[in-house]
């Protein structure tokens, strides 16, 4: 799940990519294109920046420029249901695909703001995801100017909508410097693969060939947070996912997410989410009922 740079090559006659994606095993990656995704069907987990959430059929997601992400299928589910195939519609475009300053003009400033918000990852809700989802199903059949005009109309609708929430509370930092980026990516890869186990500063510092003190300075300079703040965000995101899915109580979610005591789990949960895990779970149950 290393966040590799992914080179997206649109069809030679087009300036954007519109495709049907039937894979749920893409690598942890990022790219300069903005990505709009509508999930028709699928079971698994969305990894978007620091967020870990279960895939929702009918979900509508927007990932901004260079926001690392991947979607992984539920291995157990697809082993039991081999005939079931995931399906999503994906639209990818660079912010300047219509010209360097196209979205800077006043008439498109709201779309420019939408693209900015997408740097944290957006999940659209309610009527917006239903209506835009239907439009994305149809956009697959359009080409050229018709596809571009429909995409602009969809972006206009999304920009005006208030039915959304962020995947991440802060922007996910991707360092453009190749060597620094490679080192940070090693840390991200290791953390996402091992956050459920104890992780020491010695191990992650060794990944970047730094001393512990130098690593702490390096990581904070490139991510604007300490490593253990980042690790806690990953673990709490996983705990939230487990609580949302309803298969774990608070104690099980705590230990299944890599925390070794409830006290620290409650402290970090309140710091990151803004409420205690018990209240968070009760609110979810109230919403469901």
Q: pLDDT tens for residues 217-261? A: 988 887 778 999 989 988 988 888 888 877 788 999 999 999 999
Q: pLDDT tens for residues 71-82? A: 888 888 888 898
Separation of alpha carbons 119 and 64, rounded Å: 4
| pLDDT mean over 100-111 | 91
> What pLDDT does 178 receive?
52
Separation of alpha carbons 167 and 120, rounded Å: 6
Whether 4-166 shares its CATH topology with 178-288 is answered no
State phi, psi for 74 to the nearest 5 degrees.
Answer: -75, 100
pLDDT of 184 over the 90 cut = no
CB neighbour list of residue 267: distance below 8 Å, 6 or more residues apart: none
| pLDDT mean over 259-276 | 92
SS3 78: helix
CATH placement of domain 178-288: 1.10.10.60
176: Cα within 13 Å, side-chain hemisphere: 2
Judge contact between 86 and 44, C-beta under 8 A. Answer: yes
Separation of alpha carbons 142 and 211, rounded Å: 54
For the range 105-110, what are the long-range contacts, defined as Cβ-Cβ under 8 Å and sequence gap of 24 or more?
A: 110/156, 110/159, 110/160
SS3 46: strand
pTM: 0.68
pLDDT of 8 over the 50 cut = no
User: What confidence tier does 4 reach under pLDDT thresholds 50, 70, 90?
Assistant: low
* Domain boundaries of the chain, sorted by first residue: 4-166, 178-288
pLDDT of 130 over the 70 cut = yes
| pLDDT mean over 60-70 | 92
pLDDT of 34 over the 50 cut = yes
> What pLDDT does 288 receive?
61
Give me the percent of the chain exceeding a pLDDT of 70: 90
Cα-based distances in Å from 178 to 5, 136, 185, 249:
10, 35, 10, 42
Closest CA to 155 of 101, 100, 91: 91
Q: How far is CA 273 from the centre of its chain?
A: 17
CATH placement of domain 4-166: 2.60.120.10
């Amino acid at each position: 799940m290393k966040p590799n740079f992914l080179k997206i090559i649109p069809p030679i006659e087009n300036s954007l990519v519109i495709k049907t994606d039937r894979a749920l095993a893409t690598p942890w990656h990022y790219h300069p294109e903005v990505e709009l995704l509508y999930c028709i069907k699928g079971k698994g987990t969305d990894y978007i920046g620091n967020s870990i959430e279960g895939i929702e059929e009918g979900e509508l997601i927007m990932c901004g420029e260079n926001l690392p992400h991947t979607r992984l299928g539920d291995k157990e589910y697809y082993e039991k249901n081999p005939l079931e195939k995931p399906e999503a519609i994906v639209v990818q475009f660079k912010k300047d695909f219509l010209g360097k300053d196209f979205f800077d003009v006043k008439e498109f400033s709201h779309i420019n703001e939408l693209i900015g918000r997408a740097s944290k990852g957006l999940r659209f809700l309610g009527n917006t995801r239903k209506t835009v989802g239907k439009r994305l199903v149809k956009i697959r059949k359009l080409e050229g100017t018709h596809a571009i005009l429909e995409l602009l109309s969809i972006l206009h609708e999304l920009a005006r909508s208030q039915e959304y929430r962020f995947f991440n509370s802060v922007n996910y930092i991707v360092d453009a410097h190749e060597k620094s980026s490679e080192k940070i990516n090693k840390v991200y890869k290791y953390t996402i693969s091992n956050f459920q186990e104890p992780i020491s500063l010695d191990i992650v510092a060794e990944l970047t060939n730094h001393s512990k003190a130098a690593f702490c300075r390096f990581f904070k300079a490139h991510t604007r947070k300490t490593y253990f703040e980042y690790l806690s965000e990953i673990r709490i995101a996983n705990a939230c996912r487990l609580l949302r899915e309803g298969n774990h109580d608070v104690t099980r979610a705590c230990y299944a997410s890599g925390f070794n005591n409830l006290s620290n789990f409650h402290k970090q949960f309140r710091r990151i989410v803004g409420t205690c895990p018990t209240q968070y779970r009760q609110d979810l149950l109230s919403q469901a009922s």
